[in-house]
């Protein structure tokens, strides 16, 4: 079976499952290494990570704050480096997604999320 990505790229489901399994197995290490790398880059932001079970993303990460684009680009660069180092993902695709919260996580009720998607296509 194959999954159709939003940009028209076709991704084999077995590739997605394999990559998700690798990310899930290393999720704690990804979080620890990212936290350390953000600190070294003097970026003070808390992130959360999720491994979805459907769709084209292999990892979703976000923050309860609402960083500006320059800061979020820096965070994305750190996360990319960590994923390349720990799970050897090459150069993954990223896609910002909208989200909202129902609790007091942030005053505005919004958070910033990004999905990491594989590049493999058929």
Domain ranges of the chain: 2-117
**How many whole angstroms separate alpha carbon 48 and alpha carbon 29?**
13
Yes or no: say if 75 and 45 are a contact pair by the CB < 8 Å rule. Answer: yes
Upper half-sphere CA count for residue 103 (Cβ side, 13 Å)? 2
Which token pair is 76?
């994305």
Q: Helix-strand-coil percent breakdown of the chain, rounded to 5?
A: 40, 20, 40
Span 33-87, pLDDT tens digits = 999 999 999 999 989 999 988 888 889 998 878 889 999 999 999 999 999 999 8
1.10.10, 1.10.760, 3.30.70, 3.30.980: which CATH number matches 2-117? 3.30.980
Q: Ranked by mean pLDDT, which of 32-36, 85-89, 102-106 comes out on top? A: 32-36
**Confidence at residue 21, expressed as pLDDT on a 0 to 100 scale:** 92
| Average of per-residue pLDDT values in the chain | 79
């Amino acid at each position: 079976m194959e999954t159709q990505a939003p940009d028209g790229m076709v991704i084999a489901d077995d590739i997605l499952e394999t990559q998700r399994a690798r990310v899930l197995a290393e999720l704690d290490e990804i979080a620890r290494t990212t936290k350390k790398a953000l600190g070294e880059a003097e970026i003070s932001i808390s992130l959360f990570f999720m491994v979805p079970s459907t769709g084209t993303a292999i990892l979703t990460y976000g923050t309860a704050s609402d960083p500006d684009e320059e800061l979020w680009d820096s965070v994305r660069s750190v996360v990319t480096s960590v994923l390349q180092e720990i799970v050897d993902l090459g150069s993954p695709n990223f896609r910002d997604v909208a989200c909202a919260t129902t609790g007091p996580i942030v005053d505005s009720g919004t958070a910033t999320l990004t999905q990491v998607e594989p590049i493999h296509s058929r």
